[in-house]
Amino acid sequence: MLQGRTFPCAPPLHEIASCVQENMADLATLAKDEKLLGPGSVVLSIQMETESLEVAVTTDTLNSNTEPSNIISGTEDVSPAPTDVLSVERDTLVVPPDPDKEVTTPADIPTADQESPGTKCTAEEAVATDTVTVVNGVGGEVVFDVDIKDPTSDKVLKASPEAIEFMADVGLEELGLCLFNESLQTFSEAGQELGSFTVSVQPAYHHPEGHDEERCFLVHASTHSTIDNIPTGSSIVAYISQNMETLEQHHHEFIKMKSHSVDKKTQMLRQEDHLVISTVITEGESVRRESVSHPLSSLEGLISEASNLLIMRLLARKKPSRELVFLTFDTEMNLCTSSYSELGSRSQVIGRDTVEVYGLERTVHSEDVPVTWQCYFLSDGHLASRVQVGSPAAVILTEMPVLSEAVECDPKPVFGKKPLIWQEDAELYSKFLDRKDELIADHETYLRRHPELRLLLADFMQFLLLRKPTDVFTFAAEFFGPFSVAQTGGEPFCSSKVPSPFKIT
């Protein structure tokens, strides 16, 4: 057996893999010095200690005519034993040329008092599990290839199609019904008041630098409480677009203890085609800063803590029948999924009223520790109660609010068109008679002021009756023509035998 070196490493598997990969050259040198070239089976034994990783290589010489064994070691996320040292041994992996060829894999690592039979799987499936692999080549060369994979490392997180469809179907009218303020109280299991929880959602405009302003919603939420004489609290100020996308969010959390205080500020800002998250954590006098960026193309269906408040109100109004899975960030700003499922209805006493409330359960599936909240809402989306599973405190609504309901407008009246017969209408006929009398009086006044008009008309009528012309219009034109200022020369009364200039030939 060859004793390798000791390398500093933390217990997690992905860090073990990194450490072994970095020191692979040393392992190859050790193997070459001991003349391990040629057919054989290499066994890699890993001992995980609190602050170190020890790698040892042994050889099991096979008959020269024997092909390398196709053995894939089973792996298990083994919890640390009661002792300080945990030893895990794994056999050799020689990947066959055909990835579909079945190979034998020992099952979970057996304990001292039990044995587990091997299971069948393909080499491709085995490589996808957590394995420590050492490839033993044939023909005089040994190639070490250590690979420990996290089964979830290659998994692409996505929101469910139902969740994306739900966000796309949200209309401005529905969002408009969710714009209200609410205030709740935090109580302990014994009924003692611990603090308050407030949420405000209102229309606003977002002014990103270098871009035009955008209509959106301003979400402001804050919670403050004192548990075991330790003040804690958090506040969120965010701009949420009309498409439920987070444009900007500022999240502040704190806990104040006498000997140790923690303050965490997280900023989420959309910049071009990326979402940039910056975190500042202050513990006492220590300050730690972190920053990460995600392309927006990979964040379809993302729900932040601020937009979650709007989503919950919408879900309470729509009452979805299927579970919805969105993308979100956990407390450490790691991307994960968040599921929403219904809890049904129940009765709750709010003030002096007993009302029916609708329940939703939200679970953030963090890789560290999943967190679940159970929330109940009134019919319009007002939060009635909220409790985090495992927490001794609950947020409860103590006074019945004014419900926000859609305003139903009365239909516009339609009047059919009726025929106008003014003679039968008393008011119109009265106006007609008044106007008639007014015109007659006006005309008579004009005639009295111009007596020559009567003489001129009498002369014309007399001349007309004497001549009795066939063409009255031409005769009138000839009669009144001399009185026109545009008429030049000629006798006032010409002979009727002369062609008249007014007569059309």
The string of pLDDT tens digits covering residues 21-61 is 555 555 555 444 444 433 333 334 444 433 333 344 333 33
pLDDT higher than 50, residue 89: no
Most confident of 127-141, 145-159, 249-263, 299-313: 299-313
The larger pLDDT score, comparing residue 439 to residue 10, is at: 439
Q: Given the DSSP bridges, would you call strands 286-295 and 274-283 parallel, antiparallel or unpaired?
A: antiparallel
Token duo for residue 189: 């299991």
- Contacts of residue 208, defined as CB under 8 A and 6 or more positions apart, other chains included, come to 214, 247, 248, 270
Least confident of 85-99, 156-170, 398-412, 470-484: 85-99
**What is the structure's pLDDT at 71?**
29
Residue 345 scores a pLDDT above 80: yes
pLDDT in tens, 279-302: 999 998 899 999 999 999 999 999
Is the per-residue pLDDT at 349 higher than 50? yes
Predicted pLDDT of residue 374: 95
What is the model's pLDDT at position 311? 94
**What is the pLDDT at residue 259?**
80
Alpha helices of 233-350 — where are they, by DSSP H? 305-318
Asked if residues 178 and 379 have their Cβ atoms less than 8 Å apart, the reply is no
Confidence category of residue 410, pLDDT binned at 50, 70, 90 = confident
**pLDDT beyond 50 at 157:** yes
Indicate left, alpha or beta for 344 from its phi (over 0: left) and psi (-120 to 50: alpha): left
Residues 111-127 have pLDDT tens digits of 334 443 443 334 334 33
The pLDDT of residue 117 is 42
Please give the average per-residue pLDDT across 145-162, as a whole number: 63
The CA-CA-CA angle for residues 225, 229, 235, to 5°, reads 25
| Helical H segments across 128-239, by residue range | 161-169, 172-176
Q: Is the pLDDT reported for residue 398 higher than 70?
A: yes
State the amino acid at position 323 in one-letter form.
E
Strand locations in 322-465 (E): 324-329, 335-350, 353-365, 371-377, 383-388, 393-396
Mean pLDDT of 381-387: 94
pLDDT at residue 485 in the model: 72
Average pLDDT over every residue of 417-430: 87
Q: What average pLDDT does this structure show over 11-18?
A: 47
Q: Which amino acid does the sequence have at 402? A: V
The mean of the pLDDT values for the chain is 74
pLDDT > 90: percent of the chain? 42
pLDDT tops 90 at residue 492: no
Q: Would you place residue 275 in the very low, low, confident or very high pLDDT band (cuts 50, 70, 90)?
A: very high
Over residues 461-474, the mean pLDDT reads 90
In the chain, what percentage of residues exceed pLDDT 70?
Answer: 65
